[in-house]
Amino acid sequence: MNIESFAGYKMIKKVNMLRENDLYPFFRSIEDSEGTVVKVDGKEQIMIGSNNYLGLTHHPHVIEAAKNAIDIYGTGCTGSRFLNGNLSIHEELEERLANYVGHEKALVFSTGMQTNLGTISGICGPKDCLLFDSENHASLIDASRLALGPTFKYKHNNMESLEQVLADNINRFNNVWIVTDGIFSMTGELAKLPEVVELAQKYGAHVYNDDAHGIGVIGRQGRGTMTHFDVTDKVALNMGTFSKAFASIGGVISGSAEMIDYVKHTARSFMFSASMPPSAVATVAACLDVIESDTTLHDRLWRNVELMRDGFRDIGFYTYNSQTPIIPIFIGDETKALQVTNYLKDNGVFATPVLPPAVPKGEALIRTSYMASHSTEELTKVLEVLAKAKKEFDIPGLFH
């Protein structure tokens, strides 16, 4: 195969077509950022396409902690935790995170994706199986491909479908793992975690909760969907990421001490990757400081979410009944979603389109998300621009 032949691939043809028509919405180069406002092509845009839910990427305490860590430990660990890259601050952070989410032990990875890849491939052997929500995140799907046991899917958030798959497989495998997102990243929809754990207990299965968009955000002091639903002791493994509410990069898995010790010694993406850099570790710890000390932080976040949710309802958008800071706007047509994204950009708003196969065909959307640090003035402007976009592009509502 000649390298030039990739130009003929369907994906590359589509990318080139979008570029030629000025509709390519990806890899936008951000030249400057103040958290809620970014500069692209020399123009300021209000950022509503970020996962910076608590707005902590520019918090003075967080920035200072990251700088101090570099002064003490340098810029990187130059090795895996398993060998030479295990710092005392890694272990201190793990203890704090375990206490924060309510589990006995925690283990931090260099990225969220590595957390899923390493943990799931480690816990699912050839005589085990995984039961997946059909809308689970791509990192979970890739993790299932590394697992030695098979994966069976159940219909999205459909407990009848889950119970059927459980009944069909519970006696065929040693360990059955129900794997679900806590908050589904495209629609902002909450998993039916109480029903999931109830079925797990009924059939003797284990629950793995990917709380990438829940940790730091939902539940008391942002302790996650387990706390939100009061099922912490019924979730065997809980995964979280630091690239969202925790203003950094990395991931964490938590559970019983025995389970985490097993993951620690079997997860290849943990054992064979360089450890989280000191500045990233210190950033997460500093975010925990802010979360635990600033009692208004989550109030500001949910006030902004409510403002936007009410505003979208008044405009007439369909937002999938989101209960989280992720509020998607249903567009439907793929080309229209790209055109709307361009319109928003031209009017000072940075948002991101979500296209098939990330969503079903005919269900393209604009994914918007909100921060505790957004000002009312910024969000009011966003609503004004989106109201004009709805008329300009005849964006459908719930009934169309």
Task: Read off the pLDDT of residues 31-68 as tens digits, 9 standing for 90 and up.
Answer: 998 889 999 999 999 999 999 999 999 999 999 999 99
Tell me which of 213, 228, 234, 390 is the catalytic residue. 213
Average pLDDT over the chain, rounded to an integer? 94
CATH number of the domain where residue 283 is located: 3.40.640.10
Residue 335 CA neighbour count, 13 Å, CB half: 4
Q: What is the pLDDT, as a whole number, of residue 16? A: 85
Instruction: Please state the rounded mean pLDDT for residues 296-319.
Output: 96
Instruction: Copy the structure tokens of residue 359.
Output: 């969503």
How does DSSP assign 245-294, residue by residue?
Answer: TTSS--EEEEE-HHHHHHHHTT-HHHHTSBPPPHHHHHHHHHHHHHHHH-
Is-cis flag, bond preceding 278, omega within 30? no
Q: Which of 59, 137, 244, 390 is catalytic?
A: 244
Residue 3 in this model has a pLDDT that exceeds 70: no
Q: Tell me, yes or no, if 202 is annotated catalytic.
A: no
What is the arithmetic mean of pLDDT over 362-368? Answer: 94
Is there a contact between 179 and 140 (Cβ–Cβ < 8 Å)? yes
Same domain, yes or no, for 182 and 221?
Answer: yes
Judge whether 364 and 292 are in contact, CB under 8 Å. Answer: no
Tell me the C-alpha to C-alpha distance, in Å, between residue 182 and each of 107, 258, 313, 390.
19, 23, 24, 31
Give the single-character DSSP code of 340.
H
Q: Which structure tokens are listed for 148?
A: 């030695």
Average pLDDT over residues 66-76: 97
Separation CA 292–CA 346 (nearest Å): 39
pLDDT for residue 2 is more than 80: no
In a domain, 400, yes or no: no
**What's the confidence (pLDDT) of residue 26?**
87
pLDDT band at 231, cuts 50/70/90? very high
Same domain for 166 and 289: yes
Flag whether pLDDT at 301 surpasses 90: yes
Tally of domains within the chain = 2
Query: How far is it, in rounded angstroms, from Cα 351 to Cα 86?
Result: 38
**DSSP letters spanning 58-74:** G-HHHHHHHHHHHHHH-
The answer to whether the CB of 78 falls within 8 A of the CB of 274 is yes
Please identify which of the residues 185, 254, 275, 322 carries the catalytic annotation: 185
Q: pLDDT tens digit string along 336-361?
A: 999 999 999 999 999 999 998 888 88
What token pair was written down for 170? 């519970």
Identify the three-state secondary structure at position 89.
helix
Kindly report the length of the chain: 400
Residue where a domain terminates, one of 293, 324, 341: 293
pTM, two decimal places: 0.94
Whether residue 89 sits in one domain with residue 76? yes
Neighbours of 39 (CB within 10 A): 15
- Give the residue-averaged pLDDT of 384-397: 94
| Gyration radius of the chain over CA positions | 21
Quote the CA–CA distance of 225 and 196 in Å, as a whole number: 12
Range(s) of the domain holding residue 340: 295-393
* Torsion angle of C-alpha atoms 252, 254, 257, 262, degrees rounded to 10: -60
Residue 142 lies in a domain: yes
Structure confidence at residue 4 as a pLDDT band (50, 70, 90): low
377 and 246, same structural domain? no
Last residue of a domain, one of 231, 260, 293: 293
d(CA 400, CA 380): 26
Q: Does residue 8 carry a pLDDT above 80? A: no
- pLDDT (tens digit per residue) in 142-188: 999 999 999 999 999 999 999 999 999 999 999 999 999 999 988 88
Cβ contact 287:54 at 8 Å: yes
* Angle of helix 278-293 versus helix 60-73 axis, rounded to 10: 150
| For residue 321, pLDDT beyond 90 | no
Residues 300 and 278 in one domain: no
Question: In the annotation, is 264 catalytic?
Answer: no
Which residues, listed in sequence order, are joined to residue 239 by a DSSP beta bridge?
Answer: 210, 253
Whether 399 has a pLDDT exceeding 60, the answer reads no
- Close Cβ partners of 387 (under 8 Å, ≥ 6 residues apart): 315
Active site residue 293: no
Tell me: pLDDT of 202 over 80.
yes
Q: Does one domain contain both 270 and 300?
A: no
Residue 400 pLDDT: 43
